[in-house]
Amino acid sequence: MSQKLIVKKLSKKYGSFTALESTDLILNAGEIATLSGKNGSGKTTLLTCIASLVRPTSGAVQIEGFDFYRDEVEFRRRLAFVPDTPRFYIELTAWEHLRFIAMANKILDGFSERAESLLENLGLWRVRHDYPHHYSRGMQLKLGLALALIRPFEVLLLDEPTSALDRQSQEVLLEKLQELKREGVSILMSSHDPHLIQDSGDRHFEISQGMLGEV
């Protein structure tokens, strides 16, 4: 099985506080890994460091051999990150957000069909021309997922994706994750939901005081 995501000695310090100890992690193609831990244990720090949204103090991340610092654009093309609290542009509607991501990723061919099917599945089709700041938290999370799923990627990072979703939407998400897994996408998601960890993960990691360990 090919290695999609390689994390080498990744660590993050805020002053004298160590948020993430030196961490190694490898995810293979088509693997779903779950990540759990107490509040403040370092889950989001690990995910944001892997996504290069936060500069790690040391270490490296590679996706299909592309290093963030050396091959930034190729790295970004292959990675999608969904935060637990997505933030949107206030002047753009949900549909325009999707269109913007498609334009920036140069994937406008067949955009309307893909966006329609995605929004239908997530239950956002009816409100696609609404401004996302009028959405509920659950709907905002779904739009955050849609922004990630509208484009191709090899590694998907999800930060507590089911925290604000209803039961039905959780099932849609799990179905979508299984579909991505079959396509060979590697997924790493943090969650507090024991059912999600048990049902969907091939591997499970636990993080405590910035130390990552496989369970």
Task: Catalog residues that contact other proteins under the rule CB under 8 A.
Answer: 14, 48, 51-55, 72-74, 76-77, 79-81, 83, 86-93, 95-97, 99-101, 103-106, 108, 127, 129-131, 133-134, 147
Q: Which is nearer to other proteins, 101 or 180 (CB)?
A: 101
Q: Which is nearer to other proteins, 1 or 73 (CB)?
A: 73
Cα 190 versus chain centre, distance: 9
* Min separation Cβ 74 and other proteins, Å: 8
Q: Which is nearer to other proteins, 53 or 215 (CB)?
A: 53
* Min separation Cβ 54 and other proteins, Å: 5
**Alpha-carbon distances, residue 127 vs 24, 82, 178, 201 (angstroms):** 42, 20, 26, 32
Q: Which is nearer to other proteins, 103 or 215 (CB)?
A: 103
Beta bridge partners of 134: none
Beta bridge partners of 158: 82, 189
* Min separation Cβ 148 and other proteins, Å: 8
Number of alpha carbons in the 13 Å side-chain half-sphere of residue 36: 13
Q: Which is nearer to other proteins, 127 or 174 (CB)?
A: 127
Q: Residue 76 burial (CB < 10 Å; 0-12/13-18/19+)?
A: middle
* Min separation Cβ 73 and other proteins, Å: 5
CA distance 168 to 174: 10
* Min separation Cβ 172 and other proteins, Å: 22
- Measured in residues, the chain has a length of 215
